[in-house]
Structure 1
Amino acid sequence: MTAEPTPSQSHESRALVAMVGIGTIVLTAWALYTAEAVFAPLAFALFVIAIAWPLQRRLQTSLPNLLALALTMITTILVVVAFAMLIAWAASRIGRFIVSDAARLQELYTSMAVWLEGHGIALAGLWSEHFSVNRLLRLVQQISSRLNSTTTFMIIVFIYVLLGLLEVDDAQQKLRTWRHGILGRVLLVGGTETAVKLRRYMLVRTLMSAITGVLVWAFASLAGLPLAIEWGVIAFALNFIPFIGPFIATVFPTIFAVTQFDSWQMAVIVFACLNVIQFVVGSYLEPRFVGNALSISPFIVLFAVFFWTFLWGFPGAFIGVPIVIAILTLCEQHPSSQWIADLFGNPDKSG
């Protein structure tokens, strides 16, 4: 007969499993960070495939597969390019306005410097210490390098998407006939449910972003803030990044309000009203559209945004929450990992 493990042995076994689990998580995070150029485009491509696949599947019912693939890719690229051009248009308009208003901004800066120096703060010294022509040149070079890397990133993503859409049917067939345990069923069912959730997530996120953009535009127009449409577009785009995006979308117009109205009181009003808009849309409207289907702990959402931003930068900030949705959905499919989905995911499946 096999001897039953003692309580101390069971405790040591659980501790060993916990240590191995933590070590695996740390090594996985390190690998994702080190191999960002490989894993970030792949994750982004899988996300795009989940969104675009229903269009291709519908087109394949009446068109040859290659033609359906070509139309799906063209539609996907047009959507991404249109989104990027919309952001670039708004940013360039704001930049041109700032340049055209440089004389008044210089006057505001001079008066602010005089006031601060009267209170013992040498703004000129801080400016000369932290801002210089060399620093500005390096900033321009960094922006140019970032744009080039973003273009390369998107090209790699589209290549992955093209190849992935070609193999969706084959992958599903292989998983249906998987003969090595239940991994095939977990991946097939979990992948299908993940794709459905991601499409619903993007639909709701797009709708809420559009509502946020319209409300920001309406408020900026009523408040007399210049570039109201542009601020609405910026709010629409940044709302796709939870927490960080809405915060940035309120800070920039607030700083702009300081320079335009020469009043801290008006800036406070702008900041407060923009935050009210973000709160009403994010905390009141969005839960009523989503329901419990995509319910995730706000702590996990915030952690996901910061964690994936740290690993992969801006692409990680955008795709962090979809990655969490995918992980929790896959965890739901296996008894040994279901507790993870119960702890961090949907608290009430019956709702």
Structure 2
Amino acid sequence: MRAGRHRAVPSAQVVIAVLIVIAILPAGATVLAPLALALLAIALLWPVQHRVQTFLPRYIALLVTLAVMMLALLAFGWISTWSFGHVGGWMIDNTARFQQHYDELRQWLEEHGIDVDVLWADNVGTAWAMRVVQTVTSRINSTFSFWLIALTYLLLGLMEVEDFESRIRAMRSPVARRLLLDGSRETAQKLRRFMRIRTIMSITTGLFIWLFTSGVGLPLAKEWGAIAFVLNYIPFIGPLAATLLPTVFALIQFDNWQSAIAIFVGLNLIQFTLGSYIEPRVSGNALSLSPVVVLLSVFTWGYLWGIFGAFIGVPISIALVTFCRHHPSSRWVPELLGRGSKGDGV
């Protein structure tokens, strides 16, 4: 009885600790979410800085590394702005078509006993417009703060990587030393491989979406390909949005359900083939999480941290499962959650 009681206490403590962490995560999003992004960026950028440091001073290498990151972010931001901006411009130019379809939908709803004007008056007005303006302003301010905090973490982290490794090597506990060193190295390698494969598959998805929409005569084919490339970085949610948007526009453009459904099926076939068949085989068992865990990661972290959480959720799960693999008491976690059958998959 006494031995069983001693075994039960640590388990209860672990459960309580996990619940406390889950409760803290939403409240600490302002600090923890930029930290998570900075750690991912450090894992991706450190090999670049390490190579540059072989022939340039440390701080100049840091500036070069940050310049590479800024160029990549600017390119990604330009693609996003260009594609969504063109789609928005097309919507403005075709306002009459949207108005026509809205009138047809309103007439159909009214024929079925739904008064759209009453719903519109109840939900849309001056107060609603003010809430929208306040929400947009708040999001802009929070986004600026988010990137400023993340950049600060990134600068300090890149300067401390080597010193932090030295401090880990000096730790007295061999278990903790091995866990932190091996776990950090393997996590960084897997995150780099994950982002490399995700980028390649996003480019491939964008090209196929562009060719398909161009072949069926849908306007803005290049823009739909670019949007598919951008949104493909968010598993499940991004590809779904990348298929729904062109489908809605196909309905407006071709003015019939058959064409819209055919385009929706074609787009989903591309997304399913690349995302659910080819990408797991390119990734291999050494990297892949179980599809259920990937979906759970996207929705859980998206619920905690919003759209950024949906993006960063899978890398966080990869890191957690990888660290669990390097401790004897938690090796069952990758065996349960990984795609591989021998416990080596994350």
1:291 to 284, 295, 298: 284
The root-mean-square deviation of aligned C-alpha atoms, in Å, is 1.8
1:227 aligns with 2:227: no
Q: How has the CA–CA distance of structure 1 residues 200 and 213 changed in structure 2, closer, same or farther, with 3 Å as cutoff?
A: same
Residue 193 of structure 1 is aligned with which of 175, 186, 192?
186
Query: What's the CA shift for 1:133?
Result: 4.7
Q: Tell me if the contact between 2:205 and 2:274 (Cα under 8 Å) persists in the aligned partners.
A: yes
Alpha-carbon shift at residue 129 of structure 1 (Å): 2.7
Give, in angstroms, the shift of residue 271 of structure 1.
1.4
Aligned to 2:95: 102
Task: Specify the SS of the correspondent of 2:47.
Answer: helix
- What does residue range 112-261 of structure 1 map to in structure 2 within 5 Å? 112-261=105-254
Structure 2 residue 82 is the aligned partner of structure 1 residue 89: yes
Instruction: For residue 18 of structure 1, report the CA deviation from its aligned partner.
Output: 3.7
State the match for 2:55 in structure 1. 62
Number of the residue aligned with 2:294: 301
> Are residues 346 and 107 of structure 1, via their aligned partners in 2, closer, same or farther at CA, if it must alter by over 3 Å?
closer
CA drift at 1:225: 1.4
**Structure 1 residues 158 and 337 mapped into 2: Cα distance closer, same or farther (>3 Å)?**
same
Mapped contact 2:286–2:340 kept (Cα < 8 A): no
Give the aligned residue type for 1:56: Q
Residue type matched to 1:205 in 2?
R
Name the stretch that deviates more: 96-105 or 63-72.
Answer: 96-105
Per the normalisation by structure 1, the TM-score is 0.93
1:13 Cα offset (Å): 5.1
| Preserved CA contact (<8 Å) 2:288 2:338 | yes
Which amino acid is the alignment partner of residue 65 of structure 1?
R
Between 120-129 and 247-256, the greater mean CA deviation after superposition:
120-129
- Structure 2 contact 231–242 (Cα < 8 Å) conserved: yes
1:49 equivalent to 2:42? Answer yes
122-131 or 308-317, larger mean C-alpha shift: 122-131
The one-letter code matched in structure 2 to 1:70 is: L
1:27 aligns with 2:20: yes
Q: Work out which of the residue numbers 45, 70, 76 in structure 2 matches 1:77.
A: 70
- Tell me if 1:263 matches 2:256: yes
Q: Does 1:322 align with 2:315?
A: yes
- Partner of 2:338 in structure 1? 345
1:281 equivalent in alignment to 2:262: no
Q: Which amino acid aligns with 1:183?
A: A
Q: Distance in 2 between matches of 1:133 and 1:271?
A: 36
Q: Deviations over 1:171-222 (max 9, x none)?
A: 1112122213411211011000000000000000001111111111111111
Residue 265 of structure 1 aligns to a residue whose secondary structure is: helix
Query: Could you tell me how far 1:141 is from its partner in structure 2?
Result: 3.3
C-alpha separation between the residues in 1 aligned to 2:31 and 2:239? 29
Q: Which runs of 5+ in 2 are unaligned?
A: none
Cα drift, residue 292 of structure 1: 0.8
- Is the aligned partner of 1:39 residue 2:21? no
- Match of 1:348, SS? coil
Identity of aligned residues (%): 47
- Residue type of the alignment partner of 1:68: A
Structure 1, unaligned stretches of length 5 or more?
Answer: none
Q: Please state whether the residue corresponding to 1:190 is helix, strand or coil.
A: helix
Q: What is the alpha-carbon distance in structure 1 between the residues aligned to residue 124 and residue 248 of structure 2? A: 19
Moved more, 140-149 or 271-280: 140-149
TM-score of the two chains, using structure 2 as the length reference: 0.94
3-state DSSP of counterpart to 1:182: helix
**How much does 1:137 deviate?**
4.1
Q: Using the alignment, how far apart are the partners of 1:98 and 1:52 within structure 2?
A: 39
Q: Residue type of the partner of 1:36?
A: A
Match of 1:334 in 2: 327
Task: Give the counterpart letter for 2:300 in structure 1.
Answer: F
Deviates more, 1:62-71 or 1:130-139: 130-139
Amino acid at match of 2:316: I
Q: Please tell me the residue identity of whatever aligns with 1:333.
A: H
